[in-house]
Amino acid sequence: MTTREPAHPSEGGTNPEPERPTGVLGRLGAVLALTVCALFAVVGAVAQPAAGLVTFVVFSMIVIGPLLGVLLHQGGSDRWSATAAGAMGVLAAVGIFLVVSGIVIVFGQASAALLPLALLAVATWAWIRRRRLLARVTSAIGSAGTYARARAAGPARRPTPVPPTVTPLPTMPSPVPSPGGVISTARLCRTWRESYWLLAELPPGPARDEVLRRRGLLLDELERRDPVGFGAWLASVPRAGTDPGHYLRCA
């Protein structure tokens, strides 16, 4: 039986928005970075001539916003998503403009030459982080899906478990190893939360559909391990990225 995935945040629900699984240092770093950027933006807004700021805002509304909307619309996003992305693009462009202006005012014209390198470093870090998240989520969900398909196929069609490419799993002596002996419930719950944020970054297409399919297998595995706790989690009307581990006895 395939369990219906909990409602997406747009479908309603009483639970708060799921928390992105990051460490304490990551959260402190993000807060510090946002605070510094906000201070530079305030400096840039105060020191920037009003005419120049208005000109850039108008330019962003005419060029940057529609461009992002068109690109997302061609990529398969619906009209509302494309419109929202265009508006967010305008706000982001204005914010970056103010931050850069504040940095140049505080540190002088020479700092402008270092900004492209800083942006390149941030973009590289974001790309590497997303690749690692995709590899970790695909590995964990794929492992659970392999054993779920093995149980469904029966004794005559039991496939040989394939070790994941990122984190090798321990070898089990039985022909069809128990998922509980290969991957912990706590890790499955963490993978469930991480895959939610991965879905938020993936555009509509085969890759997103595959992650959704594997999330369904992941729900089946969690229900198999603790039907009572899993039912209590569903009864709480969870959002799509909340942690079911609070309800599972074996978590």
pLDDT tens digits, one per residue of 144-173: 555 555 555 555 455 555 544 443 333 323
What local confidence, expressed as pLDDT, does residue 171 receive?
34
Beta carbons of 83 and 69 less than 8 angstroms apart: yes
What local confidence, expressed as pLDDT, does residue 128 receive?
80
* Span of 37-46, 71-80, 118-127 with lowest mean pLDDT: 71-80
What local confidence, expressed as pLDDT, does residue 169 receive?
33
* Span of 16-25, 76-85, 101-110, 119-128 with lowest mean pLDDT: 16-25
Segment 67-92 shows an average pLDDT of 69
Task: Select from 57, 134, 151, 140 the least CA-distant residue to 96.
Answer: 57
Residue 12 has pLDDT above 50, yes or no: no
Model-level pTM? Answer: 0.43
- pLDDT class for 75, splitting at 50, 70, 90? low
Percent of the chain clearing pLDDT 90 (strictly above): 0
Residue 184 has pLDDT above 80, yes or no: yes
What local confidence, expressed as pLDDT, does residue 173 receive?
31
Which of 99-103, 237-241, 247-251 has maximum average pLDDT?
99-103
Averaged confidence pLDDT in the chain? 71
What local confidence, expressed as pLDDT, does residue 152 receive?
53
What local confidence, expressed as pLDDT, does residue 136 receive?
67
What local confidence, expressed as pLDDT, does residue 13 receive?
42
Residue 42 has pLDDT above 70, yes or no: yes
For 158, residues 6+ apart whose C-beta sits below 8 A from its C-beta are 150, 175, 176
